[in-house]
Structure 1
Amino acid sequence: MVQISAPSARVELARAKVNLALHVTGQRSDGYHLLESLVAFPQIGDRIAVEAASAFELVLEGPFARNLDGPSSDNLIRKAVEAFSEAAGLSVPDIRITLSKRLPVASGIGGGSSDAATTLRLLEDYTGHYFSENELHRIALSLGADVPVCLYPETQIMRGIGDELSAGPLLPRCGIVLINPRVVVSTPEIFRAMTKRDNPGLPKTPERFADLEGLTGYLQSCRNDMQPVAAELQPDIVDVISALDGDDRVQFARMSGSGATCFGLCEPKDTMDIERDIRARHPDWWIASGPLT
């Protein structure tokens, strides 16, 4: 095995993946569901740091670290390191990876997938071993269907089981407020409860949205096909959407992914005030805000 030198530490934000629209369009014979989704990556996420150490070590900290239960061998970051090392022909590097877990776990905003994808990018920089785009995509897909889209945190359109990616439209300057009522919704349970899976795909997207009104107008013509079922299974989602819709500064609200995190779009100047005001009324909710672009 080739050994690597010990370069300087690397730190990166593992951005949340927000499904601005999510259409379930079918189901394969192997059980995987087909989808079309417009995804974006706000400046909100976990923090991952990679630095030299005497042996490989994964350190978990932050407000949601305690929710990463189960054996450490199941952690997607550890799996990403092992998959990267095997594909690169390297020993598992002597590094310390510190994950500051700021995003809720299993909350519909791709936290674990983004952590894994960010780890792969950091390892490329740290080791100096860079894969082709196709090979990096293959490694990412081996870790989960949502990992490839998180490799490049830019607006994208996902198709297939999430593995078919294309560039999304340019977004306007926009703020986003993310809210999770600190409840977990089971994605398999949602799919089992869905009565219709062959829904129409996304409407055609423009190359760019000139302003927030154009973006919200397009999103009004789209759906999250998982939201109605998720809201039945977990009524707190309805309360979150109502809180966002009830604020005149929020121009559009919807659930992301399989929930229970919901988002509200607004003018950038309003994000912190909306977060503060909703937090005052619902101190038990997780709330974060920032730029969408």
Structure 2
Amino acid sequence: MLTEIARAKLNLALHVRARRPDGYHELETLFAFVEVGDVLRVAPAEAPAFRVTGPFAAALAGEGDNLVTRAAARFAETFGGGAHAIELEKHLPVASGIGGGSADAAATLRALARFHDVALDDPRLFAIADRLGSDVPACLLGKTALGRGRGEQLAPVVGMPGTPVLLINPGVAVSTAEVFRRWDGVDHGPLDADPLAGRNDLEAPAREIAPVIGEVLETLAAQHGVTLARMSGSGATCFALFESVEACADAASRVARPGWWCVETRLAP
């Protein structure tokens, strides 16, 4: 059996530049990853099998087809390798802006690649990832990177590994499609090299749908030692970067609310 971590994805900045004729949006974003995530386990099997366990398993109950099973099927179509039993231990909230499903699909591709001696930089893996979803290539790469196009055009950049991070989800699921539908359609400018000077253009429409996101962001921004507080992706998960582990831990003890998912972690390498 192989185990792979599906690390949560953060958009340290997310600029929406234009709507595209194909229905997608032209983006400029800075992807980063944290140490926490879902856990994926893969083993050979006589027939394909998939099960979900973990704290957020119930949110996926009854799903016969999802990004994990699609990733496994497309890997088999491309590379062969037979059937596998896959267990997804779900620790990340669903529909939360931190790439849970995309990270799970990418972890599936990495695990199967390791199992069958496929190089992790094989272009065919990234082609599969691109067909599965806009965030899947970034999650497959798993490193700090600038993303353009739909987010699939990736350029690795120097990250900030070890930076303390506090993640908060207020217990609401936000529809990505609805958030993009409510985007104001205005190009507010390109992504600067410094994410602190950036923004998340999806924050305003997400706050319209779930006003509690504003409460989370205000709570995070008010904590001692915060260097950046922002919503990730289309929400509703928000994050704060801290100057020290101690400041992050102190904030975590102060901001907890009933029903809020609150996790201390660090930016991954």
**TM-score, normalised via structure 2 length:** 0.94
Pairing 1:191-270 to 2, within 5 Å after superposition: 191-203=180-192, 205=193, 218-270=194-246
Pairing 1:8-157 to 2, within 5 Å after superposition: 9-69=1-61, 71-73=63-65, 75-91=66-82, 93=83, 95-130=84-119, 133-157=122-146
- Which of the residues 254, 259, 264 maps onto 1:277? 254
- Report the CA distance between 1:43 and its aligned residue: 0.3
Q: How far apart are the structure 2 equivalents of 1:111 and 1:189?
A: 18
Runs of 4+ in structure 1 over 6 Å off: none
Is the alpha carbon distance of 1:131 and 1:238 closer, same or farther for their aligned partners in structure 2, counting shifts above 3 Å?
closer
Report if the CA contact (8 A) 1:173-1:268 is conserved: no
- Report the CA distance between 1:172 and its aligned residue: 5.5
- Which of the residues 167, 175, 179 maps onto 1:186? 175
Q: String of CA shifts for 1:49-86, please: whole Å, max 9, x gaps.
A: 1123443211200111111145312x111101100000
- Report the CA distance between 1:227 and its aligned residue: 0.4
- Report the CA distance between 1:199 and its aligned residue: 3.1
Is the alpha carbon distance of 1:97 and 1:234 closer, same or farther for their aligned partners in structure 2, counting shifts above 3 Å?
same
Q: What residue ranges of structure 1 are gaps of 5+ in the alignment?
A: 1-8, 206-217
Q: Secondary structure at the match of 2:126?
A: helix
Report if the CA contact (8 A) 1:58-1:97 is conserved: yes
Q: Give identity over the alignment, percent.
A: 43
Report if the CA contact (8 A) 2:38-2:92 is conserved: yes
Q: Over alpha carbons, which structure has the higher Rg?
A: 1
Equivalent pairs, count: 267
Q: How far apart are the structure 2 equivalents of 1:269 and 1:193?
A: 37
Q: What residue ranges of structure 2 are gaps of 5+ in the alignment?
A: none
- Report the CA distance between 1:243 and its aligned residue: 1.3
The code of the aligned residue for 2:195 comes to L
Q: How far apart are the structure 1 equivalents of 2:40 and 2:133?
A: 19
